[in-house]
Copies of this chain bind each other. A is one copy, B any other.
Amino acid sequence: MKRLTSWVESANNPDTDFPLNNLPYGVFSTDEGPRCGVAIGDLIVDLCLLEEEGVVLISGEPVLDAPFFNEMMELGPKVWAELRARLTDLLILDGDDALSGDPDLLARALISQEDATMHLPIVVTEFTDFYSNRHHATNVGTMFRGAENALPPNWLHMPIGYNGRASTVVISETEIRRPWGQLKPPGQDMPYFGPSKRLDMELELGTILGTGVKMGQPVSVAEADQMIFGYVLLNDWSARDIQAWEYQPLGPFQSKAFATSISAWIVTAAALEPFRTEAEAREKPLLPYLCETKPMLYDISLEMDLTPDGDEQPTTIARTNYKEMYYSAAQQLCHHTIGGCQMNTGDLLGSGTISGPEPQSQGSMLELSLGGKQPLTLTNGQQRAFLEDGDTVTMSGHAQGPNYRVGFGHCSGKIAAAIAQPDWSK
């Protein structure tokens, strides 16, 4: 697909994440409270205002006057397509001039991204995290269970996932507090209580469900694909030492529950449509319910930077691509429903850490430092096995079109020191 040209000049810069081809949705605030917007170049269009003024019509009732997109998403794919078409028409060069030709409205409806504070774009109803990248599962499995048992026997047959915690999904730039937890160093007999010493990130893509499905109604992969509203960058912060001690037999719990960061802008499935790509060949045939009817991965380049406290120069520690996934979001969602699990608008699915085949394409410190044994050297000369207080992790990503990119902005978080030990006698 070729680049669409907008009358918003910054949207035509080939390096912007937010050209007219993208139109990602986010919730922002200025002096006024949080409301729905769409990014274009370095600006935000106030969708709440456009709806209020009748320039954008969605349904009988207003749905964009909320500090989340759940109400709009619930209206389904037809409405999503109509809104996207209308916004394209309003923002394209020589399109409908209801916005571009109204100086008073323009002055009120366009906000510089620099002047805005971003908020979670959705109410996250529930959060599920998957484990669907073969490189990551092999790397981590080797460290936890040895090379022979790296890939669990079920891995090639299903997208393995676990339920995460929705209450601690936070917006990019939220400070991430180093968690306390139970730790049991190898060789010691008893655990002790202390701040995590092996704090890690996981580079993932988050899938946002636009529509749900009722209890007891499994969906096919093709149907699941239609339920997905869009994608965000996702950092599944992980405390590896807490995880190693707690995860048997019921999976990760407090090692993952302290925070999950997502990027501010929802890049819609519609914007990513031109970038669909096939998954790799299957080593073992999938059961019929998991077979894809068309390419369902996307060619999205991803990058992860680490910046120590006070430094201005980030070190790029990993470059990878979403097409490295073994299972797509549609397959994950289909699998999530096969027993009858109800899914709701606003549910968030994490892809699982997106690692590539090369050493510098791995999406976690656990992999990049070989379980802490080979620390990375940063551009300032410091070494890192795991994250230190003051470190900022920044993820970015985009799909590359001819002379434009559909970008995700960034997802970042800075590590804050653990709180003082609470007084348990309270």
Contact = CB atoms under 8 A, between A and B. Distances in A.
Interface of A: 125-126, 131, 141, 144-145, 152, 154, 157-158, 160-168, 170, 177, 179-182, 184, 190-193, 196, 215-216, 218-223, 239, 242, 245-255, 257-259, 284, 287-289, 291, 293, 335-336, 338-344, 347, 419, 422-426
25 contacts: A126-B165, A126-B167, A131-B250, A160-B250, A163-B163, A163-B164, A167-B215, A167-B342, A168-B342, A181-B339, A182-B287, A182-B338, A190-B284, A193-B289, A215-B258, A220-B423, A222-B426, A250-B252, A254-B335, A255-B339, A257-B336, A257-B339, A258-B339, A291-B424, A293-B425
A339 B240 CA distance: 13
A192 B287 contact: yes
A182 to B, nearest CB: 6
Given A158-B182, A161-B250, A247-B249, 13 more contacts: A126-B165, A126-B166, A160-B246, A162-B162, A167-B215, A167-B343, A167-B344, A168-B340, A220-B422, A222-B425, A254-B339, A289-B422, A291-B424
A424 B220 contact: yes
Given A339-B180, A341-B257, A193 B250 contact: no
Contacts of A179: 338-340
Given A152-B248, A182-B157, A423-B220, A163 B253 contact: yes
Contact of A422 (B141, B170, B177, B218): B218
A317 to B, nearest CB: 24
A422 B224 CA distance: 13
Nearest to A254: B339
Contacts of A218: 180, 419, 422
A165 B162 CA distance: 10
Contact of A258 (B287, B340, B419): B340
Given A249-B247, A338-B180, A165 B168 contact: no
Contacts of A215: 167-168, 170, 177, 258-259
Contacts of A248: 152, 154
A93 B358 CA distance: 78
A292 to B, nearest CB: 11
Please give me the 7 A-B residue pairs with the lowest Cβ-Cβ distance, nearest first: A251-B251, A179-B339, A163-B163, A257-B341, A167-B342, A162-B250, A250-B251
A404 B246 CA distance: 42
A257 B246 CA distance: 22
A223 B426 CA distance: 7
Contacts of A161: 250, 253
